[in-house]
Structure 1
Amino acid sequence: MVIDIDVIIKLCTALFFGMLIGIDRQLKHKPLGLKTSMVICVASCLVTIVSIQSAHQFASPMFNNIDPMRLAAQIVSGVGFLGAGVILRRSNDVISGLTSAAMIWAASGLGIAVGAGFLFEALLAVVLLIIAVNVLPVAIKSVGPATLRQRDVSVKIVMEPNYKMTELLKAVEQKGQGLHENEKSDIKIRNIKLKDLDNGNQQIDLTISAPEKQYTTEIYYLIKKIDYVLTVDVEHL
Structure 2
Amino acid sequence: MYYETILKLGISAVLGLIIGLERELKRKPVGLKTSLVMSIVSCILTIVSIESAYLFEKASNITMDPLRLAAQIVSGIGFLGAGVILRRENDSISGLTTAALIWGAAGIGITVGAGFYTEAVIAVILLMISVEFIPFLTKLIGPKQFKEKEIRLELTVSRDVHLTTLISEIKNLNLRVKHVRVKDLDDFVVIQLKILAHEKRFTTDVYYDIQKVAGIKQIDIQSLS
User: Fold match, TM over 0.5?
Assistant: yes
Partner of 2:66: 68
Q: Matches of 2:187 and 2:83 in 1, distance apart? A: 40
Q: Matches of 1:158 and 1:13 in 2, distance apart? A: 56
Q: Matches of 1:144 and 1:61 in 2, distance apart? A: 60
Letter in 2 for 1:32: V
Residues 146-176 of structure 1: per-residue CA shift (max 9 Å, x gap): 22101111111111122111111011111x2
Residues 54-95 of structure 1: per-residue CA shift (max 9 Å, x gap): 001122575522000000000000001110011000011100
Alpha-carbon offset, residue 204 of structure 1? 0.4
Partner of 2:193: 206
Partner of 1:150: 148
Q: Are 1:223 and 2:221 counterparts?
A: no
Q: Are 1:192 and 2:180 counterparts?
A: yes
Say what the alpha-carbon RMSD is for the aligned residues.
Answer: 1.2
TM-score (normalised: structure 2): 0.96
Structure 2 unmatched ranges of 5 or more = none
Q: Matches of 1:204 and 1:157 in 2, distance apart? A: 5
Partner of 2:45: 47
Which of residues 35, 38, 45 is equivalent to 1:37? Answer: 35
Query: SS at the partner of 2:139?
Result: helix
Structure 1 unmatched ranges of 5 or more = 177-185
> 5 Å matches for 1:119-138?
119-138=117-136
Query: SS at the partner of 1:148?
Result: helix
Q: Percent identity?
A: 45
Q: Which runs of 4+ in 1 moved over 3 A?
A: 60-63
Q: Which has the higher helix share?
A: 2
Which of residues 50, 55, 58 is equivalent to 1:57? Answer: 55
Query: SS at the partner of 1:110?
Result: helix
Query: SS at the partner of 1:59?
Result: helix
Q: Matches of 1:72 and 1:109 in 2, distance apart? A: 10
Name the stretch that deviates more: 55-64 or 66-75: 55-64
Residues 206-226 of structure 1: per-residue CA shift (max 9 Å, x gap): 011110010000111111221
Partner of 2:157: 159
TM-score (normalised: structure 1): 0.92
Query: SS at the partner of 1:6?
Result: helix
Residues 88-143 of structure 1: per-residue CA shift (max 9 Å, x gap): 00011100010000000000000000000001100000011001100111112211
Which of residues 9, 22, 25 is equivalent to 2:23? Answer: 25
Q: Matches of 1:142 and 1:204 in 2, distance apart? A: 33
Letter in 2 for 1:109: G
Query: SS at the partner of 2:214?
Result: coil
